[in-house]
Structure formats: structure tokens, C-alpha cells
Amino acid sequence: MNEPAYLVLGDGTLFRGTAFGATATGEGEVVFHTGMTGYQEVLTDPSYAGQIVCMTYPEIGNTGCNPEDEESRGIFLRGFVVRSYNERPSSWRSRETLHAYLLRHRVPGISGIDTRALVRHLRTVGALNGVLAHGSQDEAALRARVAALPSMAGLNLVDGVTEGRRYEWREGNEWRTRPRPAGRKRHRIVAFDYGVKRNILRELVDAGFDVTVVPASTSAKDVLALEPDGAFLANGPGDPAAVTYAIPIVRELVAAKLPTFGICLGHQILGLALGGTTKKLRFGHHGANQPARDEQSRRVMIASENHGFAVDAEALRRAGDVEITHVNLNDGTVEGLRHRTLPVFSVQYHPEASPGPHDLAYLFDRFRELIEERHA
């Protein structure tokens, strides 16, 4: 692991460091994650597909990796950037080192670079494409390679992360911090897998749902044939406007007055289905410390987020009977919406927060209440 590694950005900026993980070359948009914990959840979050992720917290690898903390069936990001890689995990839950974990999943990593300088650069110029490569490299060739990469705008990355099968999810959360509803009827919902995280499914189960997960392209007709009590639109990667098949599907479900709850990419697709538009953010929101304000109660909550696109507020207001329910206090972007007459709402953040804050876990209960109101 003393092999050299290089990270080259789309504007030609180059960082030299030390290789760890797989000897491979990663290509994708370079973003930074501001969480202090949970690097394994970051690695296995399908919303990071097509990206190279830099961790702002400097010490990474000290808790190792284990099967219980995986959020999906694999790693979908293209490279991992850290300041200081720790080869000796100290957690009793560790089953393998981060190096071994990345090696097994064929993902390259780089350590020993000034991640503060990298993050400041990305915050100044915006997210850039990058190439992460191990071993002796021709720097000019790397710069030419990164220059040829496509922009994240216009990319449908959902097709690469959604599972091509329908399945039932019944597992709850072993580490649950809030009481489960007791003695209440369970409701059946269909969850669209745009890149869904496992802990989101666990929270849905704990909120009183029987969950059927379906591939992202499942038709509204097939969903309605299952006679669900509601639909859940999951998180996922890439440009929501590029997932062109999802928008009319959701529009049809909304027209059928099926109670619908969306998060992250699901929130953006719902916004598009309701007549809004989306836009690419300068460097996105990636971390466990984003401030979201409830516009009705004026309460400010800390949210876990991972997205590079947002629903455009002005276009949403012009769309008609849609209300903006939450805003981000850092940049004023839309963090939540609901329809004024239909049983539909969504949020930009990840309310299940594993790891992260639990301020917004109540939204799963709100979804249940919305369904029960329709059955009253």
C-alpha cells in the first residue's frame, strides 16, 4: 500500500497521494461528504453511483467494515478519497479492514492528500469530474481522460443500481431508538427502488408497513394491480430529469390518489411529476449536518443528505397546488413539498439517518397517518 496514487480534476488540478484499496482507475464526479462517522454507509449508498467521494473527516478506516452496516448489495461509487487511512481497526464490530473491503469490491482509494484544499477548491469552483488512478501514471494522459468524461447532468444512473426483481422486505431495525407502533394494523406499500438504502426499508417496516420493493421502471398499472395502500419513492443517483420513464409512472399514481411519500431522488421525481423542474447544484449536499426548516412550525432540524440536484422553487410554485414545506437554510433550496389536495408529500433529505441525526424519523409515521386518513 505504498504505491503512489493520483487524483486529477476536470480543471487540471492534480493531487498526489498513497494508494489503498483496489488497483484500478475510478472515473466520476468528485464530491465531498461532511459526516464524521459512517464511511461504510457512504460507500454502500447507491446515491453515490458515478461519483468519487472525499471524506472531510480526516481519520478513516479506524472502525473497519462489517456486513451489518452495508446499505445495499455493493459499492456503486467510483473512488474514495481520505486524509489519513487507518489500517488497524479498533472496533469490536469490524470484520475486515477498509483496504480489504475496497479491494474486494474493486474500488480504488487515495490517502495522504490535503482534503481540506480539495474541498475548498470544490466549494469555490463547484463539483468537477475526476480520475483516481494508482501506480505510475502519465499526468497529461490523466488530464485528457478526465476532460473526456460526461457531465453528471443528463445522466440516468438509476438503471445501474436498481435491482431487476420484485421482493418483500420484512426486516426491522435492531438499533431502533423510537417505539414501534403496537397493536395497529399493518399497511402494504410498494417501494420504488431507485437505489434504496436498507435502513430506509427497516424504518418503513418499523413504522408499520409490509414493504414490497419493485424495480424503478415498474409500471403504474402493475403497481396498482398489487392493491397497495401507498407508494414510496426511494433515494437514488444521478439527474432526476434523465430518469424519463419514472416521471409519468409517478404522475399516474398521483392521479389515482394513491398516498405517496418520496425522499431524495424520489422527491425530485415527484416534483417533476407535479409539473416542476429540477436544477443541478454547485457542489450538492452530502453529509449528516444540513439544516432544514419546517416552514409551518419554523422548527429547524439537522438532516442527512446526499444529492447534487434540487427541485426548482419558482417552477414548483408555478406548477399549481404544490406547497413548499421545508427549505435548506444554507442555500434556500427546496427540502420538502406536498400537494394541497392530494395525499402526496416528499422530502429532499434521508430521514432514516443511519448514521446521522434522528430529527426527521417522524416522517415515516406521517406517511402512515396519511394512509390511515385515506382509509378512515
Q: What is the CATH number of the domain that holds 128?
A: 3.50.30.20
Q: How many domains does the chain have?
A: 2
* pLDDT confidence of residue 182: 60
Q: What phi and psi values does residue 100 have, to the nearest 5 degrees?
A: -65, -35
Residue 253 belongs to domain with CATH number: 3.40.50.880
- The percent of residues above 70 in pLDDT, for the chain, comes to 95
184/298: higher pLDDT: 298
Q: Is the pLDDT assigned to residue 177 strictly greater than 90?
A: no
Asked whether residue 138 is assigned to any structural domain, the reply reads yes
Q: State which of 147, 174, 201 marks the end of a domain.
A: 147
Write the CA distances from 64 to 15, 103, 177, integer angstroms. 25, 13, 24
* pLDDT confidence of residue 317: 85
The answer to whether residues 242 and 271 belong to one domain is: yes
Asked whether residue 200 is assigned to any structural domain, the reply reads yes
Active-site residue, 352 included: yes
Q: What is the DSSP letter of 65?
A: B
Q: Is the pLDDT assigned to residue 303 strictly greater than 90?
A: no
Domain limits at 132? 4-147
Write the CA distances from 41 to 49, 64, 75, 166, 305, integer angstroms. 13, 12, 10, 23, 12
The answer to whether residues 325 and 283 belong to one domain is: yes
Q: What is the pTM of this model?
A: 0.94
Active-site residue, 372 included: no
* pLDDT confidence of residue 215: 98
Q: Is the pLDDT assigned to residue 126 strictly greater than 90?
A: yes
Q: Determine the 3-state secondary structure of 195 from DSSP.
A: coil
The answer to whether residues 231 and 349 belong to one domain is: yes
The answer to whether residues 108 and 58 belong to one domain is: yes
How much is the average pLDDT of 159-182?
80
Q: Is the pLDDT assigned to residue 333 strictly greater than 80?
A: yes
* pLDDT confidence of residue 351: 82
Q: What is the helix (H) or strand (E) element at residue 212, kind and residue range?
A: strand 209-215
222-274 pLDDT per residue, tens:
999 999 999 999 999 999 999 999 999 999 999 999 999 999 999 999 999 99
The answer to whether residues 136 and 213 belong to one domain is: no
* pLDDT confidence of residue 376: 65
Environment class of 154 (CB within 10 Å of its CB; exposed 0-12, middle 13-18, buried 19+):
exposed
The answer to whether residues 17 and 116 belong to one domain is: yes
The answer to whether residues 134 and 266 belong to one domain is: no
The answer to whether residues 164 and 285 belong to one domain is: yes
Model confidence band, residue 116 (pLDDT cutoffs 50, 70, 90): very high
Whether 334 and 316 have beta carbons less than 8 Å apart is answered as: yes
Distance, in Å, from the CA atom of 83 to the CA atom of 112, rounded to the nearest integer, reads 5
* pLDDT confidence of residue 172: 87
Active-site entry in 27, 65, 264, 305: 264
Model confidence band, residue 315 (pLDDT cutoffs 50, 70, 90): confident
Q: How is residue 222 written as a grid cell? A: 402493475
* pLDDT confidence of residue 16: 97
Active-site residue, 54 included: no
**Omega before residue 355 within 30° of 0, cis:** yes
Q: State which of 116, 147, 178 marks the end of a domain.
A: 147
Distance, in Å, from the CA atom of 281 to the CA atom of 85, rounded to the nearest integer, reads 30
Q: Is the pLDDT assigned to residue 140 strictly greater than 60?
A: yes
Whether 250 and 271 have beta carbons less than 8 Å apart is answered as: no
How many residues are there in the chain? 376
Contact partners, residue 269, CB within 8 Å, separation at least 6: 194, 233, 240, 243, 246, 247, 250, 262
277/350: higher pLDDT: 277
Q: Is the pLDDT assigned to residue 353 strictly greater than 80?
A: no
Asked whether residue 244 is assigned to any structural domain, the reply reads yes
The answer to whether residues 177 and 216 belong to one domain is: yes
Task: Give, to the nearest 10 degrees, the angle between helix 246-255 and helix 265-273.
Answer: 70
